[in-house]
Amino acid sequence: MTDIAPSQLSDHALPGKRVLVREDFNVPLSDGAVASDARIEAALPTIRTCIEGGAAVILVSHLGRPTEGDFDPEQSLAPVADHLSRALDIPVPLVRDWRGGVDVAPGGVVLLENVRFEPGEAANDDGLARALASLCDLFVMDAFATAHRAHASTHGVAKFAPAVCAGPLMAAELDALGRALEAPQRPLVAIVGGAKVSTKLELLESLAGIADRIIVGGGIANTFVLAAGNPVGASLVEPSLAETAMRIAKRVDVPLPVDVMTAPAIDANVPAVLRRPGEVGERDMILDIGPGTARAWRDGLAEAGTIIWNGPLGVFEFDQFGEGTRLIAEGVAEAEAFSIAGGGDTIAAIDKYGVREGISYISTGGGAFLEFVERGTLPAVEILKTRAR
């Protein structure tokens, strides 16, 4: 990472300025209405700051994965515009044809139609980026969850806008990640769960260089268990990456489970059976860490100075395979360490076990969170830093 920090919204005078804010309104819809407004609620403080500062506010976001160039009414941001109008208590028109300019007065807000309808968005087309930049005096990148994508509305526009900065949501993410990665309180414990080592190989390799301990769970743990010479039965595992797991384990402390919960199938009606690692049968699937392992790892978290968490420890959607994730979640929440968690399944587990208040920072990004931990930066962050030089 460079030492240059992005400019922030508080560094800029807002009265009379046209401010283009990239937010993440990729929200679930149901029957033409917003089904979960968590991402909208998270963006409201930034939008209100711009309104109260006297800016003319233009919001831009994507929704879903429509085909570029084709308007799809089911992926229109119209329900988001309606929701914002109620939340802000002012009209928030949806503007579909914005290339000729946008009519918005200081103190007002408009929302551009789904930017992924625009040809060139995913390709980071300079023409689209310049068109977006022409709408504003200041571009505010506030959508951390999309910052790992070098798209026209997240990266390209920042090359051409008169001035650029990180929004409060973005700045908070960068502050939290910087605290966890750049100068962490020791010991630094990383918790990494998930189905496959291959999907998080870069993450594990990166963490092996900075963490004092990596706790692995899910299918990822099975590969480490196999690499240590233990049977894994019919469990999800990647034998071809066993040597990689061994290499990582030589660089950093990766504790192996002393007991596991198994079953012949992933089913809500199938009971979990406790096994020692060496006792896993050919038809057994390892679906959770065992209680002895969970308690030991939970107790160890009390000594951590920093905790980074991404991924559950087992198939927590079924309660009989969720005790490992529950105990670890409680351990993270109870620890005095600075803790940061990210990823959809991780947040689902946090909410299932009611430990949200105990986590120091919950990242809004899934892929962005992972990529930042892996590489120390993101495309949208780098362009903001470049413009700050």
Q: Can you tell me the distance from the alpha carbon of 147 to that of 378, in angstroms, rounded to the nearest whole number? A: 6
Contacting residues for 175 by C-beta, under 8 A, at least 6 apart: none
Residues acting as catalytic residues: 39, 196, 344, 367
pLDDT of residue 197: 82
**DSSP strands (E only) in the chain:** 18-22, 29-30, 33-34, 56-60, 94-95, 109-112, 138-141, 164-166, 188-192, 213-216, 260-263, 273-275, 285-289, 306-310, 338-341, 361-362
Q: Over the stretch 274-292, which tens digit does the pLDDT of each residue have?
A: 999 889 999 999 999 999 9
- For residue 37 the two structure tokens come to 């407004």
In whole numbers, what is the pLDDT of the chain averaged over residues?
A: 95
Q: Over the stretch 190-211, which tens digit does the pLDDT of each residue have?
A: 999 988 888 898 899 999 999 9
Q: Can you tell me the distance from the alpha carbon of 282 to that of 274, in angstroms, rounded to the nearest whole number? A: 15
Q: Can you tell me the distance from the alpha carbon of 126 to that of 113, in angstroms, rounded to the nearest whole number? A: 19
pLDDT higher than threshold 90 for residue 31 = yes
Contacting residues for 342 by C-beta, under 8 A, at least 6 apart: 309, 310, 362, 363, 364, 365, 366, 369, 370
Average pLDDT for residues 144-163, to the nearest whole number?
97
pLDDT higher than threshold 80 for residue 4 = no
Closest CA to 297 of 253, 263, 261: 253
Encoded amino acid at 372, one letter: F
Going by the DSSP 8-state scheme, the letter that residue 352 receives in this structure is H
- For residue 141 the two structure tokens come to 């990148």
Burial (Cβ within 10 Å: 0-12, 13-18, ≥19) of residue 278: exposed
Q: How confident is the model at residue 49 (pLDDT cuts 50, 70, 90)?
A: very high
Percent of residues, the chain, with pLDDT higher than 90: 91
Q: Any idea of the CA torsion for 304, 305, 310, 314, to the nearest 10 degrees? A: 10
Q: How confident is the model at residue 382 (pLDDT cuts 50, 70, 90)?
A: very high
pLDDT higher than threshold 60 for residue 322 = yes
pLDDT of residue 389: 80
pLDDT higher than threshold 70 for residue 2 = no
Average pLDDT for residues 303-320, to the nearest whole number?
96
> Residue 295 is inside which H or E element, if any?
helix 291-301
Cβ–Cβ contacts within 10 Å for residue 132, how many? Answer: 27
- For residue 360 the two structure tokens come to 């120091």
Please state, in angstroms and as integers, the Cα–Cα distance from residue 268 to each residue in 205, 219, 285, 313, 320, following that order. Answer: 34, 19, 14, 17, 8
pLDDT higher than threshold 90 for residue 91 = yes
pLDDT higher than threshold 50 for residue 217 = yes
Q: Over the stretch 354-367, which tens digit does the pLDDT of each residue have?
A: 999 999 999 988 88
Q: How are strands ordered across the β-sheet holding 273-275?
A: 273-275, 260-263, 285-289
pLDDT of residue 127: 98
The pTM of the full predicted model, rounded to 2 decimals, is 0.90
Is the separation of the CB atoms in 253 and 213 below 8 Å?
A: yes
Encoded amino acid at 310, one letter: N
pLDDT of residue 3: 62
- For residue 128 the two structure tokens come to 């689209």
3-state secondary structure of 270: coil
Is the separation of the CB atoms in 90 and 108 below 8 Å?
A: yes
